[in-house]
Amino acid sequence: MIIVMKTGSGRNEIGRVTKRIEDFGLKTHISEGVDHTVIGVLGKVFTELRDALELLPGVEQVLLVSKPYKLASREFHPRDTIVEAKGVPIGGNEVVVMAGPCAIESEEQLLATAQAVKAAGATVLRGGAFKPRTSPYDFRGLGEAGLKILAAVGKENKMPVITEVMSPDQVDLVAKYADILQIGARNMQNFILLDEVGKTKKPVLLKRGLSSTIQEWLLAAEYILAQDNEQVILCERGIRTFETYTRNTLDISAIPIIEKVSHLPIIIDPSHATGKWYLVSPIALAAVAAGADGLLIEVHPNPDLALADGPQSLNFDSFRSLMSQLLPIAKARNRKLIIPSAKTNP
C-alpha cells in the first residue's frame, strides 16, 4: 500500500500518517517527489488501516500495490535512484561503462586493461577474483591476491572497482577491497548472500539469474533494499532459451520494463549475454539505444590467452571502436558519455 500526500503537506501530517501505520506494527518508507511525498507501507496491510489513513489530514490517496516487490517499485519510489560509486553516478544522465577482464590474472594484465579502458571512456574497472566456473577444473580466480591487485590498480587509475562476491562468508573480505559488490547470475537467489550485501550499505550490482523472471529478479533486489541498502544496480546478462548460437539470449525488453516498473538503474552485460566478442558491440549499442544506464564489458589485452571468457572478451582496439560508436547513440537518447580521447563530446 502507498499513501500519496497532498502537495504541500508538511512534516506534522506526514508524521501522523507514519505513526498510525507504525501503530499497526508495520514499517514505512518515505519517498519525497517533486510534487508529492509518497509513504510506502511494508508488511501485511489491513482494510481498517486503509480506511483510517484515508481520513487523515494531508492524505490525497491510498493505493494498494499489487506487485510483490515494494521498495524496488516505481510506485514506492517515483524518482530514479542514482547509485554512487566513489563519485561515479550510475542511473543519472550519464551512460556508465564498466570494463575490464573477466578474471584478474596479474597486475600487468589488469593495469594495462585499466589504462586502455579508461582512456576509451570507461569509468568503472571490473575484474573477477572469485570466479563461479561451470567446471571445477577451470581457473577460479586469484582470490584475495586478486582483490589486492584490483584495489591497487583502481586507486592508481582513480577508478571505482567492481568484483563478484560468491558467498556470505566472503562479504566482509570482498567489501574491504571493492567499491561495488557484484552478485553473479548463479547467486541471484542466494538469499542469505543478498541479506549480507544489503548490510554492507555498499553499491551492489545484481545480475539477473540464468532462468529468472523479471519479477523474481526484482524480489531479489527487494532483499537488498529491505536491509536499508538503496544502492542497487540491476544487470541484465542474458537468459537461457532454446537458442544455442549465443551463450544466452539478451532480453532487451527488460530495459524499458525495468524503467517502467522500478526506479533502480539497469545496465547490460553484452559479454555474457552473447558469449562471442563480435556480437558484443552491436548488442551494447542496442542496449544504450533501448535506454540502458550503462554497460558491463569484458576486455582483455590478449583475449586468445585469457584464462576466463576469452571468446567473449574485446581487445583494446575493439573496445575503443565500440566506445566511439556509442557516442551518437548516447546523444540520441539525451545521455552523456565522456570519452577522454574524443575531440567532440555531446
- Report the 10 Å Cβ neighbour count for 32: 13
Nearer to Mn ion, 102 or 142 (CB): 102
Q: How far is the CB of 269 from Mn ion (least distance, A)?
A: 9
Stretch binding ligand PEP (CB under 6 A), from 87-95, 141-149, 184-192, 317-325: 184-192
- Report the 10 Å Cβ neighbour count for 11: 8
Q: How far is the CB of 207 from ligand PEP (least distance, A)?
A: 4
Residue 301 binds ligand PEP, judged by CB under 6 A: no
Stretch binding Mn ion (CB under 5 A), from 12-20, 66-74, 149-157, 301-309: 301-309
Nearer to ligand PEP, 263 or 272 (CB): 272
Q: How far is the CB of 132 from ligand PEP (least distance, A)?
A: 5
Residue 21 binds ligand PEP, judged by CB under 6 A: no
**Nearest alpha carbon to residue 26 among 55, 6, 1:** 1
169 Cβ partners below 8 Å, 6+ apart? none
Nearer to ligand PEP, 24 or 139 (CB): 139
DSSP 156-193: HTT--EEEE--SGGGHHHHHHH-SEEEEPGGGTT-HHH
Residue 297's H or E segment, with its range, is: strand 294-298
Specify the DSSP class assigned to residue 209: P
Q: How far is the CB of 41 from ligand PEP (least distance, A)?
A: 34
- Report the 10 Å Cβ neighbour count for 287: 27
95 Cβ partners below 8 Å, 6+ apart? 288, 292, 293, 294, 295, 326, 330, 335, 336, 337
Q: How far is the CB of 272 from ligand PEP (least distance, A)?
A: 4
Give the C-alpha separation, 330 to 342, whole Å: 14
| The one among 129, 309, 319, 339 contacting Mn ion by CB under 5 A | 309
Stretch binding ligand PEP (CB under 6 A), from 72-80, 178-186, 192-200, 276-284: 178-186
Q: How far is the CB of 116 from ligand PEP (least distance, A)?
A: 19
Residue 237 binds ligand PEP, judged by CB under 6 A: yes
Considering only residues 109-148, where is the footprint of ligand PEP by CB under 6 A?
A: 128, 132
**Nearest alpha carbon to residue 194 among 183, 180, 178:** 183
- Tell me the residue nearest to ligand PEP as measured from the CB: 184
| The one among 207, 263, 300, 320 contacting ligand PEP by CB under 6 A | 207
Residue 272 binds ligand PEP, judged by CB under 6 A: yes
Query: CA triplet 85, 127, 146: central angle to 5 degrees?
Result: 110
Binding site for ligand PEP (CB under 6 A): 102, 128, 132, 184-186, 207, 237, 269, 272
The residues of the shown chain that bind Mn ion, judged by CB under 5 A, are 102, 309
